[in-house]
Chain A
Amino acid sequence: MNRELLRALDLAIARDWAGAAAAMQQPDDPVAERLGGLFADLDRQDESRRRSTARARHEIGNALAIVQANLEGVIDGVLEATPERLASMRDALASAGAALDDLGRS
């Protein structure tokens, strides 16, 4: 048991929650079972956080790309500063703000 526990803890320290959970699959050992459950839960949370971060990165990156490309276009005289264009930049910034809020809550 000690050997498996040490191996699972090493994997957990390395944030390999799935590996740590797998190392704790000891039949009929309540401690191993609980630790395995904890590591599996941490793995799910980690995965969920990774997905949220990637989603927010995508949303914010796209929104900033809209603002940067259009602002530069207006400054360079390539695009016109129409009310529609300004509104789409405002909307993009609003969605970037919302994505940041989501990130803070996740």
Chain B
Amino acid sequence: MIDNRLKRVLVVDDEPEIGEALRAYLEREGFEVTGAATLASALDAYRRIEPDLMLLDITLPDGSGLDILRATQAEGRRTPAIMLTARAEEVDRIVGLELGADDYITKPFSPREVVARVRAVMRRAEIAAGAPRRAGNAIVIKDLEVDIDAHEVRMGGRNADVTATEFRILRVLAEHPGQAFSRAALLDALHDDGSIFERTLDRHINNLRKKIEPDPERPEYLHTVYGVGYKMRARS
């Protein structure tokens, strides 16, 4: 199942009643939502929040949702996007121009359907871009190798000698590179029986850093996300 924690969605629609409804549904599903009603404010919000996905209405008072796609792509960014349109003929333009929109939804729509599409596009994007490389049944992230079958962790080919608990923590983080976990979310993902507490999690992370990080004071793999928890570095 996709984890929506801290995933940011930029919703661009000049009808505030539509934007508000989409925001309510997406927030209920755990997404962090930023709204914009114009091309200018959408580009401003895009640069500020760097969303994981955009919902873009095509017809905006000062331009087009397609302009947002073009502008972000011109900046060398590839953010998954779902286009919203009330005009059937615009669908042909979206498809024909091959602007890199991942999906489109025609108005009127069910907000539940929009949430389902958002999840599907995010899942596809994660699989395409962020999924960890697996060698055999090992997860490989740069020089770090988490060998699921052997229950071993290797850094630069050398065994890191982690404990069973450290292995479980590292495995969850390595399976979701780049994704921030709160301490509570991490414990949930570990399906822990209560033997690990939020306060002891920090100690396990520190021990892991000593074992796998080239410089534990300046972690390259196990990053602290201030105010949230931890995340594994992205794959690339």
Asked if B21 CB lies within 8 Å of chain A CBs, one says yes
Asked if B228 CB lies within 8 Å of chain A CBs, one says no
Give the residues in chain B near A69, CB-CB below 8 Å: 17-18, 21-22, 108-111
State how many angstroms separate the Cβ of B198 from the closest Cβ of chain A: 30
A62 in contact with B109 given A54-B89, A78-B24, A79-B24 (CB within 8 Å): no
Asked if B15 CB lies within 8 Å of chain A CBs, one says yes
Contacting pair A65 B24 (CB below 8 A): no
Asked if A67 CB lies within 8 Å of chain B CBs, one says yes
Tally of contacts, chain A with chain B, CB under 8 A: 69
Q: What per-residue 1/0 map shows which CB atoms of A67-86 lie under 8 Å from chain B? A: 11110110010110000010
Asked if A5 CB lies within 8 Å of chain B CBs, one says no
Classify the interface of chain B: helix, strand, loop or mixed.
helix
How many interface residues does B have (CB within 8 Å)? 22
State how many angstroms separate the Cβ of B94 from the closest Cβ of chain A: 15
Asked if B86 CB lies within 8 Å of chain A CBs, one says yes
Q: In the complex the two chains form, what is the Cα distance from A61 to B85 in whole Å?
A: 8
Q: In the complex the two chains form, what is the Cα distance from A57 to B87 in whole Å?
A: 6
Asked if A64 CB lies within 8 Å of chain B CBs, one says yes
- Contact residues on A (Cβ < 8 Å of other chain), bracket: 20 to 34
State how many angstroms separate the Cβ of B59 from the closest Cβ of chain A: 6
Residues of chain A having any CB pair with chain B under 8 Å:
54, 57-62, 64-70, 72-73, 76, 78-79, 85, 88-89, 92
Closest to B14 in A: A62
Contacting pair B108 A65 (CB below 8 A): yes
Contacting pair B15 A72 (CB below 8 A): no
Asked if B112 CB lies within 8 Å of chain A CBs, one says yes
